[in-house]
């Protein structure tokens, strides 16, 4: 399979600098999270910059349960307890711990923000800012 030259060069660079890349990334993530962006000699800045938003799924479930498109449950216990819980429902094993992970239907939630009303206002409080390490 022929690999484009630019991809090959990028792969070669990454192969030669992988450990330095990950070390630099970790150092920058830690520093910038606590102290803010670092200004480069050419004026660009390296730091944590806004990258949209995500949702607090538990808060959305309280405000608008219909916006939860999927739910995953993880049981903590022995294999036997987990198998029993799946067949008998959690009431049969009150000591078993479990966690619920919800997934928000992002398109529907974002659409709800455009409809005026109390639900939209309450949903706005459920949004979480995302950021990522980048150069700007």
Residue 22 inside a domain? The answer is no
Residue 32 inside a domain? The answer is no
Output DSSP code: residue 2.
P
- pLDDT digit string, tens, across residues 91-123: 777 776 666 677 888 888 889 888 899 989 999
Question: Model-level pTM?
Answer: 0.47
| pLDDT at residue 90 in the model | 65
Give which of 120, 113, 23 is closest to 63, Cα–Cα: 120
- pLDDT digit string, tens, across residues 36-77: 999 999 999 999 887 778 888 999 999 999 999 888 777 777
Q: What's the number of domains the chain is made of?
A: 1
Residue 117 inside a domain? The answer is yes
Task: Decide if 93 contacts 84 (C-beta within 8 A).
Answer: yes
Q: Which domain holds residue 89?
A: 52-135
């Amino acid at each position: 399979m022929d690999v484009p030259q630019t991809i090959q060069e990028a792969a070669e660079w990454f192969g030669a600098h992988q450990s330095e890349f990950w070390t630099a990334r970790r150092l920058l993530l830690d520093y910038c999270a606590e102290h803010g962006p670092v200004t480069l000699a050419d004026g660009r800045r390296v730091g944590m910059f806004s990258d949209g938003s995500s949702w607090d799924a538990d808060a959305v479930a309280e405000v608008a349960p219909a916006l939860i498109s999927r739910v995953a449950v993880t049981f903590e216990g022995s294999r036997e307890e987990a198998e029993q819980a799946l067949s008998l429902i959690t009431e049969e094993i009150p000591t078993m711990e479990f966690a619920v992970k919800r997934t928000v239907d992002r398109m529907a939630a974002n659409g709800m923000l455009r409809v005026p009303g109390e639900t939209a206002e309450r949903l706005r409080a459920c949004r979480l800012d995302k950021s990522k390490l980048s150069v700007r």
